Amino acid sequence: MTNLEAARAAPDAGRRAWLGLAVLLLPVLLVSMDMSVLFLALPRLTADLDPTAAQQLWILDIYGFLIAGLLITMGNLGDRIGRRNVLLAGATVFGIASALAAFAPTAEVLIAARALMGIGGATLLPSSLALISSLFLDQRQRSTAIGVWTAFFAGGSAVGPIIGGVLLHHFWWGSVFLINVPVLLVLLAFAPLLLPEHRAPALGPLDLPSVALSIGGILPAVYAVKRVAEHGFDIEALLSALIGAVVLTLFVRRQRRLAEPLLDLTLFARARFSLAIGSSTAGMMSLAGLSYLSSIWLQSVTGRDPLQAALLGIPMAVTVFIFAVNGSAVGRLLGVRWAFAAALLVAAAGNLLVLGIGVDGGAGWYVAGSAIAGIGYGVVFTLVSEVAVAAVPAERAGSAVGISETSFELGNALGLALLGSLAALIFRSGGDFASTLGETIQRYPDESDLLAAARGAFVSGAHVSIAVGAGVLLVVAAIAIVVGSGDRPEGSGRG
């Protein structure tokens, strides 16, 4: 039986499956929101807890570090001991850690709570997406469900600042963490009733040395990227990158020898899977750079407050949501590889339109460009998730999803490090400023000529970095066109 015949023979999902999807969207929304909401809360919690500069960085970064380092492991763990079990355990950890973070009396306690949230978050993403393959056996319905899942994941990072701004306007900084608890209680109550358990008894136990090598390689590699973003190239970043490279090399060598590897390297021999991972990395890299730089531009150059800046991001959130839901339809229409190429081109065009921002205006260019870029990002991110789920048998879906989600995290880190560092380098070369535009504004509030020059230098750096991000998208789009020249619309299924 062909994949197309199997898809037609699969039964339609009932109401219980769609209710199960609604439950799965809850943790996805929370994890993605927590990646963005803390930026708003940081000034207030800094005033209350008085963290050192190093502690502030750990408060921001430890969550993402642990998510990135544990995604592949947690995806494999769910395949073996049960995805629903891992989802419920992760939700419990995430909820307890959120409450601990909300009432943290010291910076050290908050860092520990954020670390626990990262551990819980790493279980929620791969388990929730992999469970979709159990809920929806029909290929078209599964594609729609994955599109909805992706839309909520992408939309969470966009609405996070808006919800955070409202909460911070009325309550204390801990409210941005405490809101997670009632949402997770709903998940814990209904997930056992609506979600099927799925485990693969044929798979052997986790290879613990591979787990250790995976975490021991990813964490220093991600730390090196973030270190470069914050301090530039220094000996600490170089050593971290070297340690990460050596450990990951040992990890890859071990995977090639194992019958049941933690990371199935043969997946990358499939052109479609490699294209998906490359597209997700490039897409998140450009999106992270665009979001980071435009946020600073909206607040430090145009003078808007965080909530006003977040509201201008709504058009992009809307287009990402709409086109993520319909991304699989685009894939069926054009063929997956050509859909990737078209979406990457649209995202690049949107980024280039954002170059219309300036010192004295350009909000219209930002809104229009980011909304158009959102069309491309929405399609790309849905297709990545769909390809990851379809690339392997159902019993290994969690491990494949872990790879795709790790690529998102890697792209996000690279965008902040490489594009952020490039913008900072151009900014600092423009005059005798402080290390960032925000510090310059705080340090020299009355020197209008210096501040005007600093804002101009920042805009110049943002232009170059956003253009480079668009260039990366164009390169990957060109690769997609070359490898996808023979792709047909009906090829959007497995393989």
pLDDT of residue 395: 55
| Pair 318, 390 in one domain | yes
pLDDT of residue 474: 95
The answer to whether residue 1 scores a pLDDT higher than 70 is: no
pLDDT of residue 481: 86
The answer to whether residue 464 scores a pLDDT higher than 90 is: yes
| Pair 281, 371 in one domain | yes
| Pair 251, 288 in one domain | no
Is 9 domain-assigned?
no
| Pair 237, 166 in one domain | no
| Pair 331, 433 in one domain | yes
The pTM (predicted TM-score) of the whole model is: 0.76
pLDDT of residue 484: 54
| Pair 347, 415 in one domain | yes
pLDDT of residue 459: 92
Range with top average pLDDT, 103-107, 202-206, 265-269, 425-429: 103-107
The answer to whether residue 279 scores a pLDDT higher than 50 is: yes
* Residue 14 region by backbone torsions, left for phi larger than 0, else alpha for psi between -120 and 50, else beta: beta
pLDDT tens digits, residue range 16-35? 888 888 888 888 777 777 76
Higher pLDDT, 261 or 489: 261
Mean of the pLDDT values across residues 405-430?
78
pLDDT of residue 489: 38
| Pair 212, 142 in one domain | no
The chain-wide mean pLDDT, for the chain, equals 79
Is 410 domain-assigned?
yes
pLDDT of residue 351: 96
Task: Tally the domains of the chain.
Answer: 3
Mean of the pLDDT values across residues 121-138?
78
Is 173 domain-assigned?
yes
Q: Is 390 exposed, middle or buried (0-12, 13-18, 19+ CB in 10 A)?
A: buried
CA distance 103 to 95: 13
Q: Which range is least confidently modeled, 61-65, 103-107, 456-460?
A: 61-65
CA distance 150 to 157: 11
| Pair 302, 201 in one domain | no
CA distance 424 to 462: 9
Is 314 domain-assigned?
yes
| Pair 89, 30 in one domain | yes
| Pair 453, 304 in one domain | yes
The answer to whether residue 205 scores a pLDDT higher than 90 is: no
pLDDT of residue 75: 74
220, 241, 261 - which closes a domain: 261
Give residue 428's pLDDT band: very low, low, confident or very high (50, 70, 90): confident
The answer to whether residue 420 scores a pLDDT higher than 70 is: yes
Q: What is the CATH number of the domain that holds 112?
A: 1.20.1250.20
Mean of the pLDDT values across residues 273-298?
85
| Pair 242, 352 in one domain | no
Give percent above pLDDT 90 in the chain.
14
pLDDT tens digits, residue range 379-394? 988 888 777 767 655 5
Give residue 96's pLDDT band: very low, low, confident or very high (50, 70, 90): very high
Is 10 domain-assigned?
no
Domain that holds residue 235: 207-261
pLDDT tens digits, residue range 41-52? 766 777 778 777
CA distance 306 to 315: 16
pLDDT of residue 210: 82
The answer to whether residue 7 scores a pLDDT higher than 50 is: no
Higher pLDDT, 204 or 216: 216
pLDDT tens digits, residue range 301-350? 888 876 777 788 889 888 988 888 888 888 888 888 888 999 999 999 99
| Pair 331, 401 in one domain | yes
